[in-house]
Amino acid sequence: MTLSEGTGLKAPAQPGPEPALPGGRKRPWAGESGESVTRNLVLVGVLAALIVIGAITQPELYGNSTWVWTNVLSILQLASVVGVVTVGMTFVIIGGGIDLSVGAIVALAGVWSTTLATQSYGAAGMIFTAIVVGVAVGLVNGVLISYGRLVPFIATLAMLVAARGLAAAISGKQTQISSNTFINGIASTKILGIPVLVYILGAVAVAGWILLNRTTFGRRTVAVGGNPEAARLAGINVKRHTMFLYGLSGLCCGIAAVMLTSQATSAQAAMGNLYELDAIAAAIIGGTLLSGGRGTIVGSILGVLIFATITNLFAINGLSTEAQNMVKGGIIVAAVLVQQFRFKSVTQFFARNRITSST
């Protein structure tokens, strides 16, 4: 708490009292990033705490260093698919929307890419299909939301139902086994001792980070989510940008579909169940503001890792899934409470600061 106030204190002091009215409301960049760094440090602390709990409860497993290494890899693999989905979700949420259809898109892209007709085109055909289907469905969401003026919640909820329905229709409600050795090999291949899935997650996360923090697209996303009207007046094509955000989420779902198909060596209409909730929850505890305009890729990835570590922790201790779900729910609530608390302290600080600067 003191840390964040400390960085907050410094930030508005530097630009001086003059830009306090336009800049003070949106908070300067230095303060913003400083706050998110603190928040991410807290998340890293939570991760460390979870690992310590694991080490205390299962000392004989944690005593074996090769086991610890494979366990870290297994957590990362567990996080990989949801992680990729969460990167796309983070963009959508920062842009002021929500995408409830991600799990359904993953299932549809997975099923579509594993039909026998698609499989006959080989691995490249399957990957192409999954990604095109993902992007196309995402863009349909985007068009409905930005040009059809549907509320994101409704549009993507409709897509959730429809995409799973289409997936079930295509698969004939059967599990489609992937017989493509390249696709199946993605999940079992390791390069330099690290599974390929983890590299994919890393690549998507880095690409997402660059896109959000180092490109105009990223800046526009924050602007659109923070205040769409101001963004429009500033010359941003808000509608088209919003559409692209859903397309981006769809792209991530397409990549995730290939990864999940590879992990399960098959696809079915019921796969990716409730991924939308996992992704939203991870983004939220990673500090993404549900109303848009704020969020970090690093925070979201840490959120995913925390959930994966909890799953792993409960598994190695042989505890039930019910208890695990309750703990997950508790963590989401706790994360939001902590964020509100921080937020209040920050706004209080600004209120105080304005009083002192006016006198």
Partner 1 sequence: MSKINSDLSRRRLLFGGAAVGAGALLTACTSNEAAPTTAQTKAADTSGGGNAAPGTKVTIGFSAPAADHGWIAAITNNAKAQAATFSDVEFKSVEAGADAAAQRAALSTLIAQKPTVIVLLPHDGKELNSFGLEAMAAGIPVVNLDRAFPDARAYRTQIMGDNYGMGVAAADYIIAQMKAKGVGSPIIGEIAGMDELELTQTRSKGFTETLAAAGFKVANRRAARFTVDSGQQEASQLLQALPRMDALWNHDDDQGVGVLAAINQASRKEFIMVGGAGSKQAIETIQADNTVLKATVTYSPSMASSAISLARLIGQKKGLADLVELQVPKEIVLASETITKENASSYIQLGF
In the complex, the residues that contact partner 1 under the rule CB under 8 A are 61, 64, 67, 70-71, 74, 77-78, 112, 115-118, 121, 125, 129, 132-133, 136, 139, 168, 170-177, 184, 187-188, 237, 240, 260, 263-273, 311-312, 315-318, 320-322
Beta carbon of residue 254, minimum distance to partner 1 (angstroms, whole number): 12
Nearest alpha-carbon partner for 231 in 135, 94, 34, 36: 94
Rounded Cα distance, 248 and 276, in Å: 15
CB of 209 to partner 1, least distance (A): 26
Closest separation between CB of residue 266 and partner 1, Å? 5
E strands, 82-221, in order: 176-177, 190-191, 194-195
Half-sphere exposure of 112 (CA within 13 A, CB side): 25
Would you give the distance in Å from CA 343 to the centre of its chain? Answer: 21
Q: Are the CB atoms for 40 and 285 separated by under 8 Å?
A: no
Residues 208 and 155: their CA atoms lie apart, in Å, by 24
By beta-carbon proximity to partner 1, the closer residue of 6 and 172 is 172
Q: How far is the CB of 315 from partner 1 (least distance, A)?
A: 3
Nearer to partner 1, 223 or 269 (CB): 269
Q: In angstroms, give the least distance from the CB of 234 to partner 1.
A: 15
Query: Nearer to partner 1 by C-beta: 229 or 322?
Result: 322
Distance separating the N- and C-terminal Cα atoms of the chain: 27
What is the residue-wise DSSP string for 125-149? HHHHHHHHHHHHHHHHHHHHHHTS-
Residue with tokens 């409709």: 158
- C-beta of 95: minimal distance to partner 1 in Å? 19
Nearer to partner 1, 87 or 106 (CB): 106
Closest to partner 1 by CB, 173 or 344: 173
Shortest gap between Cβ of 115 and partner 1 (angstroms)? 5
Task: Look at residues 312, 278, 238, 273 and name the one whose alpha carbon lies nearest to residue 77.
Answer: 312
Looking at the Cβ atoms of 196 and 222, the one nearer to partner 1 is 196
Nearer to partner 1, 183 or 297 (CB): 183
Q: How many helices (H) and strands (E) does the chain have?
A: 17, 4
